[in-house]
Chains A and B, each alone.
Chain A
Amino acid sequence: MSETPLLEVRHVKKYFPIRKGVLQREVGRVHAVDDVSFAVREGETLGLVGESGCGKSTLGRTLVRLLEPTDGEIVFQGKPIQRLGTRRLRPLRREMQMVFQDPYASLNPRKRVGTIVSDPMRIHNLGSRNEQKRRVGEILETVGLSPEHYNRFPHEFSGGQRQRIGIARALALRPKLIIADEPVSALDVSIQSQMLNLMEDLQNEFQLTYIFIAHDLGVVRHVSDRIAVMYLGKIVELSPAEELYTRPIMPYTEALLSAVPIPDPDLAEKRERIVLEGDVPSPIRPPSGCRFHPRCRYVTDVCTQIEPPLVDYGDGHLAACHHPLNVDQETLQRVEVARQHSPAAADASALPHDSSGRSNPAVAPAHDTHSR
């Protein structure tokens, strides 16, 4: 990549302390986001997927500094922002906005639509009141509402319309980056597709960059250029969107994909389904080694002891796994060599590796449905 990314995240951690007793001593920590690094290019959509409790929402909120990162660097437009104070952060807030999941809870029921959408402009002193009002009318039209809705209250709108108001509010400041936290999961399918198309149009019109957080892999594939899969606070796979679906490397991704219900009875019957046992373990005491190992069907000893580093398998496809799937021998050897050069992997290479017979040279049969 030649150009500097719009947003770069380096080793970001967010721990929530657990305090107990009269003295409120710290007795433990929730490792909500644990050493996450990635970059977002201008104009792209990065999808962030994972089960509930994997830390995707916490990460989203940490990126816009709604939560303070415990450690790590967040670089926005070349400028580190992780330690900026409120006042110096404010101009940057114009550039990054959020759309929240629940269209019922994220709009103040006592404020009129006009106020909700114009508040950001008022806070940032953009234009006179008349100009603000005119802008609100324009934005409401852009998101598919009408300027006459200015004086209405949120309760007068349906879920889909409310989510449009939430998007209008985020757009009011003409931001560069929008972090959308499950923007469509509370909506019906027909409304959901309207919303996704709208977000796509807005991206083209305003050159927006999205970080799109969702648990629905179908939705994420539709909107994203690249996708990061999170599990228990870690990014376990990061890949160009289509590649993730045709050639998942991390067994967790494979299992997630196989769990997505397919609206085609014949295909659904034929498909091999990997049902993950149990729930996501507690992020207070995450499992040792690879965090996915208690639920992984390929688990071996090395997985329980050593945490696999996130390695590049070529073409921007990164994954953290001791037993990568869908990787040919050649790539595997190249990666093995590269891994030995990184200090984090030095310990790993000291231990016996077990990668024999585990790397499928071609696409796994479970995924041949995608090549139709």
Chain B
Amino acid sequence: MAERLLEVNDLKVRFATEDGVVRAVDGIAFALERGKVLGIVGESGSGKSVTAMTLMGLTRGINARFEGEVLYKGKDLLQVTDRDMQEYRGNELGMIFQDPMTSLNPVYRIGEQIAEAIQAHEKVDKRAARARTIELLRQVGIPNPESRVDDFPHQFSGGMRQRAMIAMALSCNPSVLIADEPTTALDVTIQAQIVELVSRLKDDFDSAVIFITHDLGVIAEIADEILVMYAGRVVERGTTRDLFYDPQMPYTWGLLGSIPRLDRPRAERLHTIKGAPPSLINLPEGCKFRPRCPHAFDKCMQEPGLANRVETAGHLDRCWLDVAYKREHRDESISGGSAEAA
């Protein structure tokens, strides 16, 4: 078995706000091995970004409360001091943020920003840092890195900025790369380039990737294992194949059915998940998806635990429905109005 880099056990993150306690992440668990890509999907407000930022130690603050463990190579990152965390951040865990337009500083040259990250972590002189920067830019596919290294962010296109961000995240050879919606702000053609780049770099740098997105299409291409998050919880977890070919949670069906798909005949009408995600301050009782679930019944007033309910080991879900019933009925949601079911 490959080396286990990261293990998250029953992580809870709460923020005290004026309006009440926001339960942003409410008990999630997963493990990540070297060479693997873990996908996290969910809508806005499902807690996926807070999870990522907590792994990086970026949600620390006087209003934040943490429970559980984030074990990186056996060491609990939640217990590490802010100062020591800086050693992990960048060196061990690198992060790519969603918006390449706002996550680069517009008044510094691209090269300076990447070299700064290198020099913050390693004792190297300016020239060495610059040489490394150029090499990194080449690895992420920036043409002409020797001259582009002195460009300002506004001289880069959206796709190139995201490449520069990736170069920065990789600058200190982290073992875990966390990509928070890295392709959302990009065009499909550029998105395809970035997805390919991330999976190639994962092999080149021998690291593991946590890939957060709300796009199920992107996740299908890159992930080995997927967590589906809803209201701060993992509601389904399984391998990519489990999740796409044998989804167990009505929320997952809803997500799959909501996308207008190019690989299927055009649906007369798209499936929708009625209503909106719940407020994280006032969560509904029982199963958190119950108010929006078309299959909800009495038992759903108690929250189901995340458990293995199908034959495949490791495929977990939070749903009381009978597996046979689900397999029979899920296509109504997944294929929407289209007559054909996959």
Contacts and interface: CB of A to CB of B under 8 A. Distances in A.
- Pairing of A with B: yes
Interface of A: 51-52, 158-161, 188-194, 196-197, 200, 215-219, 221-222, 241-242, 245, 255-257, 259-268, 273, 275-276, 278-280, 369-370, 372
Nearest to A255: B189
A190 to B, nearest CB: 4
Given A188-B44, A217-B188, A245-B262, A265 B241 contact: yes
Nearest to B226: A265
Nearest to B256: A263
Nearest to B159: A279
B43 A188 contact: yes
Given A261-B215, A265-B220, A256 B188 contact: yes
B187 A221 contact: no
A217 B159 CA distance: 19
B267 A222 contact: yes
17 contacts: A52-B158, A52-B187, A160-B276, A161-B276, A188-B214, A189-B215, A189-B258, A190-B255, A192-B258, A193-B259, A197-B269, A221-B266, A261-B188, A261-B215, A262-B221, A265-B244, A268-B220
Contacts of B263: 262, 264, 267, 369-370, 372
A51 B272 contact: no
A215 B188 contact: yes
A367 to B, nearest CB: 10
Interface string B208-219: 000000111111
Interface string B45-68: 000000000000000000000000
Given A273-B192, A280-B157, 14 more contacts: A158-B276, A189-B215, A193-B257, A197-B269, A221-B266, A222-B260, A261-B192, A262-B217, A263-B216, A263-B219, A263-B244, A267-B263, A279-B190, A372-B263
B2 interface: no
Given A188-B214, A370-B262, A260 B270 contact: no
Contact of A196 (B244, B257, B270, B340): B270
A218 B270 contact: no
B7 to A, nearest CB: 25
A265 B240 contact: yes
Contacts of A264: 220, 244, 263, 342
B254 interface: yes
A218 B220 CA distance: 16
Nearest to A198: B272
Contacts of A261: 188, 191-192, 195, 215, 217-218, 220-221
B189 A191 contact: no
Interface string B81-108: 0000000000000000000000000000
Nearest to B41: A189
A196 B44 CA distance: 19
Closest 9 CB pairs of A and B: A261-B217, A222-B260, A193-B270, A193-B258, A190-B273, A218-B260, A263-B216, A259-B192, A188-B43
Contact of A218 (B143, B244, B262, B269): B262
A232 to B, nearest CB: 13
B266 A263 contact: no
Contact of B266 (A222, A273, A372): A222
Nearest to A267: B263
Given A222-B267, A261-B218, A279-B160, A196 B255 contact: no
A222 B217 contact: no
B329 interface: no
Contacts of B160: 279
Choose among B188, B257, B261, B340 the residue with the greatest number of A CB atoms under 10 Å from its CB: B188
Nearest to A194: B272
Given A221-B262, A264-B244, A275 B267 contact: no
A51 B190 CA distance: 9
B302 interface: no
B192 A221 contact: no
Contacts of B217: 260-263, 268
Contacts of B265: 372
Contacts of B258: 189-190, 192-193
A245 B273 CA distance: 27
A92 to B, nearest CB: 32
Contacts of A192: 258
B261 A262 contact: yes
Contacts of A52: 158, 187
B193 interface: yes
Nearest to B184: A185
Contacts of A259: 188-189, 191-192
Contacts of A189: 43, 214-216, 255, 258-259
B237 to A, nearest CB: 16
A245 to B, nearest CB: 6
B262 A262 contact: yes
Contacts of A161: 276
A241 B267 CA distance: 13
A279 B264 CA distance: 29
B202 interface: no
Contacts of A278: 143
Contacts of B254: 190
B24 to A, nearest CB: 17
B290 interface: no
A158 B219 CA distance: 26
A242 B260 CA distance: 13
B12 interface: no
A215 B218 CA distance: 16
Given A51-B187, A188-B214, A263-B217, A221 B276 contact: no
Choose among A188, A194, A259, A369 the residue with the greatest number of B CB atoms under 10 Å from its CB: A188
